[in-house]
Amino acid sequence: MNEPRGPAWYAVQAQPHGEMRALHNLERQGFDAYLPRYVKQVRHARRTRTIATAFFPRYLFVQLDLDLQRWRSVNGTFGVCGLVGPRDCPSRVPEGIIAGLRAREDEDGFIAVRHPAARWKPGDPVRISDGKAFHGCEGLFEGLNDEDRVRVLLDLLGRKVRVTLDIAALEPV
């Protein structure tokens, strides 16, 4: 099966935490490179910071025309482990993937990521669908605790009890 020729996007594996280094070095060599990023909040030592991070950790994309460009030089770029695919011909990224990622970017160039808990507002009724101790209990969604944990206010034995659960344990009432 012959693949269509011409410019196409290819995935590049970067060294650990080296996505930005690989991006800059590829661009310095004249390649059209793309690193999809999103903004996330990180908590450390009671402080919360907002940082930009790679949407696909250790991966970025480069547009190449395998017939016209010296694409093998990508593999020797600082910050790059190599192109994804067989050594003699890297694997193309399917049509529309990069355009779809770019369409999800906001005005600052970051991909908008909606957290699974965004469907609930504080005070919304929820049911615990998973877990042994509180399975089937209903409570009020209170908020996010950290990345995949949520706080729920339960009414147990006439008292309000705050529990922290995995987000996958909740369902709407």
CATH 2.30.30.30 corresponds to the domain 116-172? yes
Q: What share of the chain is helix, strand, coil (3-state, %, to 5)?
A: 15, 40, 40
pLDDT band at 1 (very low <50, low <70, confident <90, very high): very low
Q: Bridge partners of 162?
A: 153
Cα–chain-centroid distance for residue 12?
16
Tally of residues, the chain? 173
For the full predicted model, state whether its pTM sits above 0.75: no
Question: pLDDT tens-digit profile of 98-141?
Answer: 999 999 998 888 888 766 666 788 888 888 887 667 888 888 88
**8-state DSSP, 6:** S
Which CATH topology does 8-103 take?
A: Alpha-Beta Plaits (3.30.70)
Q: Where are the domains of the chain?
A: 8-103, 116-172
- 8-103 against 116-172: fold identical: no
Give residue-wise pLDDT tens across range 52-77.
889 999 999 999 998 888 888 999 99
